[in-house]
Amino acid sequence: MPKVTVDGQELEVPDGATVLQACELAGKEIPRFCYHERLSIAGNCRMCLVEVKPGPPKPQASCALPATDGQEIRTDTEMVKTAREGVMEFLLINHPLDCPICDQGGECDLQDQSMTYGRGATRYHENKRAVTEKYMGPLIKTVMTRCIHCTRCVRFSEEIAGVDEIGALYRGEDMQITTYLEQAVEHELSANVIDLCPVGALTSRPYAFEARPWELKKTLSIDVSDAVGSNIRLDSKGREVMRALPRINDDVNEEWISDKARYQVDGLMRRRLDKPYIRKGGKLQAATWDEAFKAIAKVKPGKKIAAIAGDMLDCETMFAAKALLKACGSTLVEGRQTGMDYDTSNLAAVNFNSTFAGIENADAILIVGSHVRWEAPLVNVRIRKAVKRGAKVFVVGPWWDTTYPAEFLGEDLGVLNKLPKALSDALKNAENPAVIVGGAGLKGAHGKALALAEKYGAAFNVLHFSAARMGGLMLGFAQPGGMEDIVNAKPKVVLSLGADEMDFEPFADALKVYIGHHGDKGAHAADVILPAASYAEKDGTYVNTEGRVQFAEKAVFAPGDAREDWTILRALADALKVEVGFDSFAELQAAMIEEVPALGEEGLADYGALPKADARSKAEGTISAYPIKDFYLTNPIARASEVMQRCSAELLHGEDLAEAAE
């Protein structure tokens, strides 16, 4: 632990810390552009200059200088001030003064730092450099004249995303950031470079010229596009969510979010259900709330009522639905829309027990039936980190581009019954082995994977991809036989709570009530549609796949006649003449927490120990395909989003077209 002095203040810094980190520990602000905590050190912007003794009598780039014992660091001398002013003057030589028309304006590192550390005037009279725009796909808008060559985007795509797509061509003043032949960047985290870009060179294409940061209302929320539960901030103007940005949470999403989480928000304004509908003569017709409730009450379901939870539901809605059904005398609740029927008697056996931060330390990882890159892009980032630290990865299932070296063991789950030597050796010799079972592997290999985890002392993880899954399971949204049990119970009324992926066919005789926010598959099949709120339009508790309970806040109001889900279910209780026991959101939440106390505490829920595995269980079947067919169109919001549709067409399907044309 070296001891250093920063501006006369003595402090001890951790081994391996840089001078910049030492200054931060001492509470000094060091301006920087290229340095980023989560990326490798480049040391090319020179903004972080400080004076260090002993050393050459000139300012030093603190980000790339290791802190050593006895260093005397000054951040407040005249030399440092002039050095920073000089660097800033050089940076601004070629930077256009187009802040008024730049989308980064108001949240621009260069703008802020030039105010604080700049000279205020330039002595440069030559012409500025101009750089042609570079196409980087449907999400990233480029204004490359603004680029200051920090190379954060290059380092992000190489180190974090694991896809070498962005590079710096040419040299010196002529350096240009681009992709090979200006192809679109294709990985699922690509838009994070927009946040990383310290200037307005890479900005958000869908959000271009939409709003200024200071006119946006910022709401802390949780992403529902996958089961990672990324912490996001929804920026809204009026009734519209303008954009979603990541919040820093090292346990969950670090400071990244997937492109889907970021850009599906424009879907919140499209294809919305904003008034109730009733199907009359085969056609959906607009109705009033009263008429809709009457239509449901007319069926007199009694006990014959079922509720299917969708993938993006908050716990409160699910609890309200469960309470309504309980008051009716029914327990027909299910959340696994697609008919999965894995054993949920012990929630630890369906949870991501390693935790996301913990999987980074695994040294042998067996992935069974999970396209991690699509099902949870941010978990793939963690696994990539583990691989960089030396972990070996084995995958059972069809091939996908892992972004790190991985051994694919074929599509036949039977391989788990007699492990190949490489895999068994790796698991045996590993100190922190881990098994990850995805949606495609749960059916045929859940038991076997548990047994393997027990045998090798590996952490057992299930990777879900529905934001509502763990919360639903905690609330008991699972029948022993899955959806089949619901079908066999022949309900008279089926409440589809934003469940768009379920099969409505078996419920032909029942009254299908869709309570959701988008006119998607569920609404097409429904007999009665009750317009509800999306995740941005209601408070709610979400549990991610590692069992982390998180709370999201309401950013905007639902459009038109749409109401928050719980109020619809509360009103439906009146229509059905039953008592649910809550009249406000607070009462509902209190009742929910009373039933499942873990939902009242933010943080990891405790599911207890893993069940004793059945050593004789066998893995059966083959995985012919993963459940997610199109990363950009997995939920009704994304399907309604123009940006996601364009991504899907251009990045996933355009590729095929282009190849066919060649």
Partner 1 sequence: MADRSPAPDTPELRERWGGFEFTEAYRAKADKAIARYPEGRQRSAVMPLLDLAQRQVGEETNTQGWLPLPVIEYVADYLDMPVIRVLEVATFYFMYNMKPVGKYHVQVCGTTPCMLRGSDGLIEACKKRGMSKGQVSDDNLWTLTEVECMGNCATAPMVQINDDNYEDLTPERLDAILDALAAGEQPKTGTQEPGRHTSEPANALSSLQEMVDANHDYRSEW
Cβ closer to partner 1: 188 or 501?
Answer: 188
Q: Which of 649, 633, 650, 647 is nearest to 271 (CA)?
A: 633
Q: Provide the binding-site residues for partner 1, judged by CB under 8 A.
A: 164-172, 174, 179-181
Cβ closer to partner 1: 164 or 655?
Answer: 164
Count Cβ atoms below 10 Å from residue 603 Cβ, excluding itself.
11
**Cα within 13 Å of Cα(63), Cβ side:** 21
Cβ closer to partner 1: 152 or 646?
Answer: 152
**Quick one: residue 490, left, alpha or beta (phi over 0 = left, psi -120 to 50 = alpha)?**
left
Instruction: Give the whole-angstrom CA distance, residue 213 versus residue 343.
Output: 47
Cβ closer to partner 1: 236 or 403?
Answer: 403
Cβ closer to partner 1: 120 or 172?
Answer: 172
Q: Angle CA(625)–CA(627)–CA(630) in degrees, nearest 5? A: 95
Q: How far is the CB of 171 from partner 1 (least distance, A)?
A: 5
**Is residue 397 within 8 Å of residue 440, measured between CB atoms?**
yes
Instruction: Give the whole-angstrom CA distance, residue 211 versus residue 235.
Output: 10
Cβ closer to partner 1: 164 or 587?
Answer: 164
Instruction: Give the whole-angstrom CA distance, residue 488 versus residue 470.
Output: 25
Q: Which of 74, 98, 100, 187 is nearest to 136 (CA)?
A: 187
Type of residue found at 25: L
Q: Which of 380, 267, 211 is nearest to 632 (CA)?
A: 267
Cβ closer to partner 1: 131 or 386?
Answer: 131
Burial class (CB in 10 A: 0-12, 13-18, 19+), 117: middle
Cβ closer to partner 1: 282 or 390?
Answer: 390
Cβ closer to partner 1: 133 or 215?
Answer: 133
Q: What Cα–Cα distance (Å) separates residue 463 from each residue in 354, 436, 589, 606?
A: 11, 7, 27, 17
Q: How far is the CB of 162 from partner 1 (least distance, A)?
A: 11
CA 422, chain centre distance (Å): 33
- Continuous segment of H or E residues that includes residue 316: helix 315-328
- Per residue, the 3-state secondary structure of 328-369, as one string, reads HCCCEEECCCCCCCCCCCCHHHHCECCCHHHHCCCCEEEEEC
CB-based contacts of 33: which residues, under 8 Å, 6+ apart? 45, 47, 91, 109, 110, 113, 148, 150, 152, 198, 199
Instruction: Give the whole-angstrom CA distance, residue 347 versus residue 557.
Output: 34
Q: Angle CA(634)–CA(312)–CA(636) in degrees, nearest 5? A: 40
Instruction: Give the whole-angstrom CA distance, residue 35 versus residue 74.
Output: 19
Q: How far is the CB of 526 from partner 1 (least distance, A)?
A: 48
Maximum C-alpha span of the chain:
87
CA 549, chain centre distance (Å): 15
Cβ closer to partner 1: 112 or 182?
Answer: 182
Count Cβ atoms below 10 Å from residue 215 Cβ, excluding itself.
11
Q: How far is the CB of 178 from partner 1 (least distance, A)?
A: 8
CA 45, chain centre distance (Å): 31
Cβ closer to partner 1: 56 or 172?
Answer: 172
Q: How far is the CB of 68 from partner 1 (least distance, A)?
A: 30
Q: How far is the CB of 151 from partner 1 (least distance, A)?
A: 11
Q: How far is the CB of 170 from partner 1 (least distance, A)?
A: 5
Q: How far is the CB of 168 from partner 1 (least distance, A)?
A: 6
Cβ closer to partner 1: 162 or 246?
Answer: 162
Q: Angle CA(185)–CA(186)–CA(189) in degrees, nearest 5? A: 95
Q: What Cα–Cα distance (Å) separates residue 205 from each residue in 194, 210, 239, 285, 382?
A: 10, 10, 21, 37, 27
**Is residue 13 within 8 Å of residue 1, measured between CB atoms?**
yes
Cβ closer to partner 1: 57 or 172?
Answer: 172
221 forms beta bridges with 232
Burial class (CB in 10 A: 0-12, 13-18, 19+), 579: exposed
Cβ closer to partner 1: 184 or 497?
Answer: 184
Q: How far is the CB of 406 from partner 1 (least distance, A)?
A: 16
Q: How far is the CB of 54 from partner 1 (least distance, A)?
A: 24
Cβ closer to partner 1: 178 or 479?
Answer: 178
Cβ closer to partner 1: 16 or 405?
Answer: 405
Q: How far is the CB of 193 from partner 1 (least distance, A)?
A: 14
Q: How far is the CB of 186 from partner 1 (least distance, A)?
A: 13
Q: How far is the CB of 154 from partner 1 (least distance, A)?
A: 9
Cβ closer to partner 1: 151 or 466?
Answer: 151
Q: What Cα–Cα distance (Å) separates residue 160 from each residue in 38, 260, 353, 434, 648?
A: 8, 17, 23, 21, 22
